[in-house]
């Protein structure tokens, strides 16, 4: 029964939670040295399946065969012990400890009662060297950029003797250069016979680094494909169960008068002489590497980041906002990059989240008109097809795509002139992504001025009528029409970077 | 739908459980000592809690906004001396206005430090606690101050009755209702809860989070000033240390009321019930002639149980 060809086989896994059948016959196989992509829309059961594997959850039915033996880990520690290492999307390192301490937390080498620092740092450096990382065991985690923290997490897995490494959205906060470094490491681990399960929404990455792909839909196994035999369309179709002839939707509206004009905007050390304009009815994209100054530009316009020089003209009127309150009043909406930190009130309901910015306008006499907030919620629930069991559902329980729609609704219900969307589809499943792209296009067609920031090239190319590229705090190019090509974009974000 | 319902249910049961617990404690004291059930004692309990409930209403704002205000005990002392001494100097009406102003001004200072300078509220208000106590001692010369005219109408706030109901209790009810309405129905109240949940999201959603945090301390300062008027006029005079330890009772009341210590959730009504439970216990211990030291121990145990239940309830939410 045991098949030694496989490092791991999960068969017919069933897991039910009260009222939900989260997994219903899920499966996956991993061979030594194989990189297996695990794809599916958010809520398809990817995380649940992984939790059943490494012992965080206990599967109700099905079997897990690991290294030729039937296993059933009761706790994540048991899974870890056996060599199944999960690297989470949200990093779990302790910021104020060194890299070496983090790597061997719980099993620090010691001489008597004292920590054996030399051995600790040597072991850590050895593991880091193996990954060609420049990070040292004595570095503090708080001083490392996120990409290197991720490296440390992976090195920790290697040091613990990982046989299966699970990477959950590992590139969501990495720049392209860092992604390349990560892939290098994955190839190295692969050569050592480590099996890797790669959870991602990014199709180009999956095709680049993975050997096969397991597709899940509604907790069910839809198929495991050898990637070199299939096309992107086949994979997407398997994930959403329908063909997507039009993955991106470009706004085709009437471009009208100028809504926003920015001239010579500067923030010391961050932005230098940034000038651009946005007109009614068009989607303007901002493309660049992480840290190029795209979000900072928008924050300066929105009044949450002070700037030292430059003028901002909104609808012909020169403005300088001292806080988002004034910006919101003047008709700007800002969907921020980090939903959890700056976009949502996680424990509050969908209805409350949507009404947050508009409350001063939703009054009956002195008081908030709660019926009106519900009306507004239902209106945008219908327009954007928000899937929530109830308006009172805490928003933390919704999928990323639905959360994002609520945030967009928060701004639309104000009737804005300009909407800024910063990485609007980050961490959102592919079905919802396409819905949000359609929504962006329809906003522009309805006469709004729309700014989209994205680090995903296909996305920025797909949705924008015009694109500004940024590098190191400057605008490096303005591209429109035929000028929007991958080569042009790539060349212009590298300038001076 | 289900999640929300069960979540609310837990909250509901918890808040009402507190009321039930209060009634049970009340009955136990009553069975031990029958005089506990008398009308005058029940009225006395309500008179007792007026100060804690009014201050608690203010503290509820500070805690929902994500902060603690440890300075309220000292502010109570200061405002107590202020109301008595300024009544003697400028008459009751001006004295009341001035006292409320002092309460708000203290709130502005604390609120600015916590809201705009972003100092940790524990540290900032702990500092304010000492500053305000020192100001009280300087202002009063360290002496007990009393009204020159003990029959002046202002003493009605502490001593008067409307029918059998003490005026202080009426003030408490009106005050708590107003604070409750502001919290639950106005844009401002919604914003306080939103800022307590996540100030960054508010900063990016057209809400001035710094300002909102500052105003929660003003709400707390104003409530404390009102409480000081009720307390000082009850005896017609004020000790410079009369507010000592009140911050503990007030915070206990808010915590018993189930406010989220991390900010974002809380209710004036539940804080009121929390104050009621404390009032019943305090009065009970006095009537039974038990040492005040037992009362401290009992109060501490109760607060630990309340915090534990709070954590448990949150754990349930997280798991769902």
Q: Which residue has the higher pLDDT, A193 or A217?
A: A193
Contact A304 B203 (CB under 8 A): yes
Please state the rounded mean pLDDT for residues A270-291: 92
What's the pLDDT score for residue A89? Answer: 67
Side-chain half-sphere exposure of B45, counting CA atoms within 13 A: 26
For residue A212, the Cα-to-chain-centroid distance in whole angstroms is 22
Identify all chain A residues contacting B186, using CB atoms and an 8 Å cutoff: 366-368
Identify all chain B residues contacting A365, using CB atoms and an 8 Å cutoff: none
Secondary structure letter of residue A292 according to DSSP: S
CB A99 within 8 A of CB A137: yes
What's the pLDDT score for residue A330? Answer: 95
pLDDT tens, B60-73? 999 999 999 999 99
Task: Decide if pLDDT at B318 tops 50.
Answer: no
Secondary structure letter of residue A270 according to DSSP: T
What's the pLDDT score for residue A497? Answer: 42
Q: Which of B115, B189, B201, B211 to mutate to test the interface with A (most CBs of A within 10 A)?
A: B201
Identify all chain B residues contacting A397, using CB atoms and an 8 Å cutoff: 3, 320
Task: Decide if pLDDT at A176 tops 90.
Answer: no
Confidence of residue B257 (pLDDT cuts 50, 70, 90): confident
Nearest Cα residue to A45 out of A59, A34, A31: A59
Task: Decide if pLDDT at A3 tops 60.
Answer: no
CB atoms < 10 A from the CB of A115, how many?
A: 15
Task: Decide if pLDDT at B319 tops 70.
Answer: no
Specify the long-range contacts of residues A322-330, CB closer than 8 Å, at least 24 apart.
Answer: A323/B203, A323/B208, A324/B203, A324/B204, A324/B205, A324/B206, A324/B207, A325/B206, A325/B207, A325/B208, A327/A301, A327/A302, A327/A303, A327/B206, A328/A357, A328/A414, A328/B205, A328/B206, A329/B206
CA distance A450 to A417: 9
Please state the rounded mean pLDDT for residues A84-94: 79
Report the gap between the CA of A161 and the closest CA in chain B (Å). 31
Contact A343 B201 (CB under 8 A): yes
Q: Any idea of the CA torsion for A85, A91, A93, A94, to the nearest 10 degrees?
A: -150
Q: Which residue has the higher pLDDT, A299 or B299?
A: A299
Chains A and B: how many Cβ contacts under 8 Å? 88
Nearest Cα residue to B121 out of B74, B67, B75, B62: B67
Contact A345 B7 (CB under 8 A): no
Report the gap between the CA of A392 and the closest CA in chain B (Å). 7
With a CB cutoff of 8 Å and minimum separation 6, the contacts of A413 are: A354, A355, A358, A376, A379, A380
Task: Decide if pLDDT at B178 tops 80.
Answer: yes
Report the gap between the CA of A367 and the closest CA in chain B (Å). 5
Give me the residue label for tokens 């029940």. B42
Mean per-residue pLDDT over chain B, rounded = 90
A44 three-state secondary structure? coil
Q: Which residue has the higher pLDDT, B190 or A150?
A: B190
Q: Which residue has the higher pLDDT, B253 or B298?
A: B253
The residue of chain A nearest to residue B203, with distances taken between CA atoms, is A324
What is the token pair recorded at A137? 């065991």
Alpha-helix residue ranges (DSSP H) falling in A305-453: 324-329, 350-355, 370-384, 400-412, 430-445
Distances (CA, A) of A128 to A99, A158, A324: 10, 9, 44
For the ranges A41-50, A341-350, A482-491, B7-16, the one whose mean pLDDT is highest: A341-350
Task: Decide if pLDDT at A43 tops 90.
Answer: no
Instruction: Supply angle C-alpha A467, A468, A472, rounded to 5.
Output: 145
Contact B206 A336 (CB under 8 A): no
Task: Decide if pLDDT at B76 tops 80.
Answer: yes
Report the gap between the CA of B308 and the closest CA in chain A (Å). 20
């Amino acid at each position: 029964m045991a098949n030694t060809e496989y490092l791991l086989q999960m068969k017919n896994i069933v897991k039910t939670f009260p009222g939900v059948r989260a997994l219903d016959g899920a499966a996956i196989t991993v061979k030594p040295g194989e990189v297996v992509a695990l794809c599916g829309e958010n809520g398809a059961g990817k995380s649940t399946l992984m939790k059943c594997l490494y012992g965080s959850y206990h599967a109700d039915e099905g079997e897990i065969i690991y290294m030729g033996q039937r296993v059933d880990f009761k706790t994540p520690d048991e899974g870890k012990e056996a060599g199944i290492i999960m690297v989470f999307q949200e990093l779990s390192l302790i910021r104020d400890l060194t890299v070496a301490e983090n790597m061997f937390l719980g099993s620090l080498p010691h001489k008597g009662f004292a920590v054996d620092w030399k051995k600790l740092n040597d072991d850590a450096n050895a593991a880091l060297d193996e990954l060609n990382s420049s990070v040292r065991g004595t570095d503090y985690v708080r001083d490392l950029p996120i990409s290197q923290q991720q490296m440390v997490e992976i090195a920790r897995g290697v040091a613990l003797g990982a046989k299966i490494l699970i990477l959950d959205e590992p590139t969501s906060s990495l720049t392209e250069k860092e992604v390349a470094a990560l892939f290098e490491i994955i190839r190295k681990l692969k050569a050592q016979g480590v099996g890797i399960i790669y959870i991602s929404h990014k199709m180009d990455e999956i095709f680049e680094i993975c050997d096969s792909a397991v597709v899940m839909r509604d907790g069910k196994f839809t198929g495991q494909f050898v990637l070199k035999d299939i096309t992107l369309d086949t994979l997407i179709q398997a994930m959403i169960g329908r063909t997507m002839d039009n993955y991106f939707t470009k706004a085709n509206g009437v471009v009208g008068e100028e809504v926003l004009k920015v001239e010579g905007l500067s923030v010391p050390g961050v932005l230098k002489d940034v000038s651009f304009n946005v007109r009614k009815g068009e989607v303007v994209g901002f493309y660049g590497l992480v840290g190029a100054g795209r979000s900072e530009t928008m924050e300066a316009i929105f009044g949450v980041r002070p700037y030292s020089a430059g003028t901002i003209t909104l609808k012909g009127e020169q403005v300088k906002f001292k806080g988002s309150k004034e910006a919101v009043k003047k008709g700007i909406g800002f969907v921020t990059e980090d939903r959890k930190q700056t976009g949502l009130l996680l424990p509050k309901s969908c209805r409350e989240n949507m009404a947050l910015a508009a409350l001063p306008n939703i009054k009956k006499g002195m008081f908030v008109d709660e019926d009106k907030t519900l009306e507004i919620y239902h209106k945008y629930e219908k327009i954007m097809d928000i899937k929530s069991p109830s308006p009172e559902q805490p928003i933390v329980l919704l999928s990323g795509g639905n959360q994002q729609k609520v945030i967009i609704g928060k701004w639309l219900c104000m009737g804005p002139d300009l909407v800024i969307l910063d990485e609007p589809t980050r961490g959102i499943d592919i079905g919802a992504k396409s819905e949000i792209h359609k929504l962006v296009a329809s906003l522009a067609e309805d006469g709004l001025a729309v700014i989209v920031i994205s680090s995903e090239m296909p996305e920025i190319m797909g949705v924008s009528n015009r694109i500004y590229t940024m590098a190191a705090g400057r605008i490096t190019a303005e591209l429109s029409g035929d000028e929007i090509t991958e080569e042009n974009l790539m060349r212009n974000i590298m300038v001076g970077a | 739908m289900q999640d929300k319902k069960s979540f609310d249910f837990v909250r509901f049961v918890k808040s009402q459980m507190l009321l039930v617990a209060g009634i049970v404690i009340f009955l136990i004291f009553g069975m031990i000592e029958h005089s506990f059930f008398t009308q005058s004692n029940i009225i006395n309990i309500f008179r007792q809690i007026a100060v804690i409930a009014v201050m608690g209403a203010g503290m509820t704002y500070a805690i929902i906004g994500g902060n603690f205000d440890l300075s309220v005990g000292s502010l109570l002392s200061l405002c107590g001396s202020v109301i008595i001494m300024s009544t003697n100097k400028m008459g009751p009406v001006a004295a009341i206005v001035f006292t409320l102003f002092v309460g708000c001004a203290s709130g502005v200072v604390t609120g600015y430090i916590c809201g705009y300078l972003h100092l940790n509220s524990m540290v900032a208000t702990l500092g304010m606690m000492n500053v305000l106590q020192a100001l009280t001692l300087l202002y009063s010369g360290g002496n007990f101050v009393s009204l020159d005219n003990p029959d002046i109408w202002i003493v009605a706030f502490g001593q008067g009755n409307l029918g059998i109901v003490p005026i202080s209790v009426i003030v408490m009810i009106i005050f708590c209702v107003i604070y409750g309405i502001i919290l639950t129905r106005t844009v401002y109240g919604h914003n306080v809860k939103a800022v307590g949940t996540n100030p960054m999201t508010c900063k990016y959603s057209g809400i001035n989070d710094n300002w909102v945090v500052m105003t929660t301390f003003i709400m707390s300062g104003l409530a404390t000033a009102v409480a000081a008027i009720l307390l000082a006029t009850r005896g017609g005079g004020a000790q410079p240390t009369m507010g000592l330890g009140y911050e503990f009772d007030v915070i206990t009341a808010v915590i018993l009321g189930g406010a989220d210590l991390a900010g974002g959730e809380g209710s004036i009504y539940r804080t009121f019930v929390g104050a009621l439970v404390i009032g019943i216990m305090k009065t009970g211990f006095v009537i039974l002639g038990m040492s005040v030291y037992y009362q401290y121990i009992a109060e501490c145990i109760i607060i630990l149980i309340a915090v534990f239940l709070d954590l448990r309830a949150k754990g349930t939410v997280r798991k769902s």
